[in-house]
Every structure is written in C-alpha cells, then in structure tokens.
Amino acid sequence: MPELPEVEIARRNLTSWLRGGAITVARAPDRVVLRGGAPSAFARALVGRVVREVSRRGKWLRLELAEGGYLFSHLGMTGKWVLRGAEEPELDWERARLDVVIRGHASSARYVDPRRFGRLVVAEADIAEWRALGPDPLVDGIDAKQLAVALARRRGAVKDALLDQSVLAGIGNIHATEALWMARIDPRSRCDALTLGDIRAVARGLRKSIARTLDDEDGPEVWYLQEAGAPNPFPIYGHAGEPCPRCAVSLVRVVLGGRGTTFCPACQVRRA
C-alpha cells in the first residue's frame, strides 16, 4: 500500500498493539512473503520473545526484540497490518500473524497482502536493505544541501532520483509527483541542471506532502487502507487530463522509470 506516511502510521499502530507484548503465536505460512525463509524459523525466532520497540526507516518497519534480534517488514505494494482479536478467523489474503499478550490481554496483529510484494525477514542484525537506506524525511529530516550533493552526481530525471531509496528513504511515486508539482519542477528535469533553489523547493514540497498525508490520519484514514472505490485524496497524482489546480492547463501523464508520472506542462518548468 504504502509510502512513508502510511508506513509511519503502521509503525504507530504496531507500537500500540505490540510494544511490551510477549509473542505467543508467530505464523507466516506464505513462502512468497518470506522469500525463501522457512515458516518454522519465523516461529522459532519470535515465539516467547518480547517486542521492545517498533521503528521505521523509509518504507521498512523493524520490530526489535528485547532478547535481541529483529523482525523486518516491508509492505510492498498492497501490504498492511491490522489488529484483530486472537480468536478471530483468518482474513482474506492474510499472510502472517503475531499474537501477543500484554498484562493478560491477548491480541493479534495480522499481515494482509494480496499481491505479496511485501516481505517479512527475521534477522539477528540490521539487514542490508535497511542499512542501504538514505536519510529518512521524518527521522533525520530532509537537508536541502545534502540532497543537492546527491543530485549533483546524477544525470537522469529528478523524479527517478527521488524514488531511489538511497537518496531519500520512503519517497514513492505519489509524493515524488506531488512534491515536484509543488516545487513547479518538471519531473523529467535532469538532476544536475537543478539549482539549489529548485532543490529547496522540492524539499519543501516533500515535507509538505508527507505532512499533509500524515495529518489525514485523523480524518478519512489512509487512502490505500480504505475499501476499493475510495476517492483519491491527492491533488495531482492520478489526475492526468484534469485541469492543473494552479493554472488550469490540462495535467499530462508520461512514463518515467516505468512509473506513471503526472505533471503540469505549463507551470512546472523543465531544467535541461
């Protein structure tokens, strides 16, 4: 489902559901989501352990066990964690569950993922994918100068660079699209042609887009978590053919790095 804001919400949820809990059941029968890891090893690594903390970097979640070791969770395209009672039946597309007991109260976190692009990894130490992540916009903040240094070495399109998790961790297609619109930068612009002012504007756009989605948590819940047919809450993403909210020119869709990209051909300027 997710980009950074949704994964952050998942982190907050998992923290409130699991932190301090002793794991009584750990099941992940799905070999696809385990990517070759064995269901028996999953259970062995987790049952009887206590969840000390749930953290996040980019789109990765990390459950830290009090006894040492971690469970890493990536939600892929359609993954989500939901809370159920321990006695409730298996859900559609349920790929894993973690049952915990906290002060005598039992609950069950279920991992649901229709497309199974998500992953669950048990490990003794931080995995390579976690260590390779660049600065996280919430944990570390976005530093425009640092971003400028990373972009100066690249020749490809800005949007591709923003999707690179080693440049910034957690940016996905939606927030890259929204931020570039806010910054009035054409997503096809070459990285090394951007000015520091451009990059500052992109950084501001990213912060704003992420913050806005995070704030919506109170209101209409995260879009991806809603039932099918829920309205798209983003102003630009998915609105090709509709008028630009700023200048009313029809928004255009192109493909960059294999991903659909919407932008305004009139008020987003192309640098080289």
Residues annotated as part of the active site: 2-3, 59, 259
Determine which residue in the list 101, 223, 252, 267 makes contact with DNA, applying CB under 7 A: 223
Nearest CB to DNA, comparing residues 224 and 266:
224
Can residue 270 be called a binding residue for DNA (CB under 7 A)?
Answer: no
Ranges within 13-72 binding DNA (CB under 7 A): 32, 58-59
Q: How many Å separate Cα 220 from the centre of its chain?
A: 18
What does the CA dihedral 246, 247, 248, 251 come to, rounded to 10 degrees?
-80
Tokens 């298996």 found at: 90
Q: Which stretch binds DNA (CB under 7 A): 40-48, 112-120, 142-150, 203-211?
A: 112-120
Write down the least CB distance from residue 227 to DNA, Å.
Answer: 8
User: How many chain residues touch DNA (CB under 7 A)?
Assistant: 35
> What are the angstrom distances between the C-alpha of 181 and each of 99, 125, 229, 236?
43, 39, 25, 8
Q: Would you give the binding string for DNA spanning residues 139-158, x where CB under 7 A is met?
A: ---------------xxx--
Nearest CB to DNA, comparing residues 48 and 260:
260
Distance, CA of 267 to CA of 272 (rounded, Å)? 15
Can residue 73 be called a binding residue for DNA (CB under 7 A)?
Answer: no
Number of Cβ within 10 Å of residue 249's Cβ equals: 13
Alpha-helical runs (H) found in the chain: 4-18, 31-34, 39-46, 128-131, 144-152, 158-163, 173-182, 196-215
Which residues of this protein are in contact with DNA, per CB under 7 A?
A: 1-3, 6, 32, 58-59, 74, 76-78, 93, 114-117, 129, 154-156, 163, 165, 172-174, 223-224, 228-229, 237-238, 257-260
